[in-house]
Chain A
């Protein structure tokens, strides 16, 4: 079974802090994703990566950055945390199969982040 592990289930930080959320997958997947989940808004894509050191902006990248130095690890960075970034953050991965697309995404359990 694919395992996507997020480093923390719950995290509390202060406004203005630099926050790191870590995600590791064990299935050698090329694609990795960061979403935030808010009630009624579903899952919104922040950033995704389809290869090491590659990244692309999703629908709501403002205030976030990412890092992918190794294939199995994808980090989300809140440069200067603000209260409106309080949310549930989900990481996901999927394989790159030729032809492109059509592969299920496998999700981690999420990190509930509170910014005070």
Chain B
């Protein structure tokens, strides 16, 4: 089942913060986050595996709630380079082949 991402789009000024949510109706095995800039391939950001886990990548960080049904991506003090579409990809169980189901994406535009 496809995870639900919110919001669908967000516009920020440089230096502002934003939160992107990824929700599932069932407990997940893991959540992956990717960013895709216009005209480019999606690029891996991070994977979360454990309930309550938090991870950071520069000023982009993410959390996985205790029930493992929701993950949030935090863009802190946003930079122009953060613009793009962010996708969460979820694994419902520990499966062969690393199969992911992606959310619909969140478009982020950071303005000067």
Chain A positions within 8 Å of B, measured between CB atoms, are 4, 31, 33, 35, 40-45, 48-50, 56, 58-59, 90, 94, 96, 99-110
Specify the main secondary structure of chain B where it touches its partner. Answer: loop
A42 touches B30 (CB 8 A): no
| B51 / chain A contacts, CB cutoff of 8 Å | none
| B101 / chain A contacts, CB cutoff of 8 Å | 45, 59
A104 touches B32 (CB 8 A): yes
In the docked arrangement, what's the CA distance between A43 and B104, Å? 7
23 sampled A-B residue pairs with Cβ under 8 A? A4-B41, A31-B97, A35-B102, A40-B8, A42-B2, A43-B87, A45-B99, A48-B97, A50-B96, A56-B97, A56-B99, A58-B99, A94-B98, A100-B96, A101-B29, A101-B94, A101-B95, A102-B47, A104-B32, A105-B34, A106-B44, A109-B40, A109-B41
Nearest B residue to A44 via CB reads B102
Give the number of residues in B that approach A within 8 Å (Cβ atoms).
29
A41 touches B41 (CB 8 A): no
B104 touches A107 (CB 8 A): no
| A104 / chain B contacts, CB cutoff of 8 Å | 32, 44, 47
| B 47-89 binary contact with A (CB < 8 Å = 1; else 0) | 1010000000000000000000000000000000000000101
Chain B positions within 8 Å of A, measured between CB atoms, are 2, 5, 8, 29-30, 32, 34, 40-44, 47, 49, 87, 89, 91, 94-105
Nearest A residue to B91 via CB reads A101
B104 touches A42 (CB 8 A): yes
